Amino acid sequence: MKWTYSIKNKITAATVLFALCLLVLLSNYNDRVHTREVKQSISTLYEDRLLVESYILHLTSHIYQIREGFFRADSSDPEIIAKRSARLAAINKIMEDYEKTKFTEAEKIEFARFKSLFRQVESNSNNPQSDLNLWTLDALDALYKLSDIQIEESTSILSHSEQLYRTSKISSDFGFALVIIILLILQALVSTSKTFYISNKTDPANLN
C-alpha cells in the first residue's frame, strides 16, 4: 500500500500546483483587465471631458467678445467687423473639434441648442436690428450647461476609476491569501510524505 499512498500524494501535490498556476494566471489576467479599464477611463477623462472643457471656455470667451463688439458705438467699423468674422470662424473650428468627442445624451441636446443659436448669431452678426443680445445670452446659457455636464461626467469617471482600483486591490489581496493557503497545503503534503517514508523504514537485521 506504500506505493498507492505515494502516488495519491503526488497526484494531490500536482493538483495543488496546477491550481496555484491557474490562480497566478487568473490574477495576472484580472490585473491586465483592470489596468486597461483604468487607462481607458483616464483617456476618456482627458479627451472627452477636460479637453471639451477647454473648448467650452474658448467658445464662451468668443461669444462674450462678439457681444461686446456688437454693442459698441463703432460696431460697424471695418476693423470691428473683421475681428467679429475672425471670432465666428474660430467658433466654427472649435465646434468641429468638439463634435469629434464622445457625447452624452444630455450633451447632444445642449450642443445642438448652442449650435442652432450660434447659426442665428453668425447669420445676423452685422445686422444691428437682430436679436443678437437674446441669442448670445441663450448661447452662453447652453455653454454653462455643457460645462456642468463635463463636471458631472468627470466625477462619474473618477468614481468608476476608484471602484476599479478597490476591486483590483481586493482581488489581489484575495489571490495572495489563496496562494499562501495553497503553499501551506503543499508544504503539509510534502511533510506528510516524508513522515510516511521515514516511518516505514525497517531496521537492519542484527547480524550478531
Which of the four pLDDT bands, split at 50, 70 and 90, describes residue 194? low
pLDDT of residue 170: 73
112 pLDDT exceeds 90? Answer: yes
When pLDDT is cut at 50, 70 and 90, the band that residue 9 belongs to is low
Q: What pLDDT digit, counting tens, does each position of 19-78 carry?
A: 767 767 777 677 677 667 766 766 677 667 888 999 999 999 999 988 887 777 566 778
Residue type, 150: Q
Confidence of residue 105 (pLDDT cuts 50, 70, 90): very high
What counts of helices (H) and strands (E) characterise the chain? 5, 0
Q: What is the pLDDT, as a whole number, of residue 107?
A: 93
Q: What are the strands, taking DSSP E only, across the chain?
A: none
CATH class of the domain whose range is 2-199: mainly alpha
Task: Give 122-178 pLDDT, tens digit per residue.
Answer: 888 777 767 888 999 999 999 999 999 998 888 887 777 777 777 777 767 776 777
Long-range contacts of residues 111-116, Cβ cutoff 8 Å, at least 24 apart:
111/142, 111/146, 113/138, 113/142, 114/59, 114/139, 114/142, 114/143, 114/146
Give the model's pLDDT for residue 109. 95
DSSP string across 87-117: HHHHHHHHHHHHTTSPPPHHHHHHHHHHHHH
- Is 48 within 8 Å of 138 (Cβ atoms)? no
Indicate if the pLDDT at residue 1 is higher than 60: no
The pTM assigned to this predicted structure is 0.66
Give 40 or 199, the one with higher predicted confidence.
Answer: 40
- Nearest alpha carbon to residue 120 among 142, 100, 151, 145: 142
Q: Of 59, 45, 46, 58, whose CA–CA distance to 113 is shortest?
A: 59
Predicted pLDDT at 159: 78
CB atoms closer than 10 angstroms to residue 157: 18
Enumerate the domain spans of the chain.
2-199
Q: Which of 98, 86, 95, 94 is nearest to 125 (CA)?
A: 86
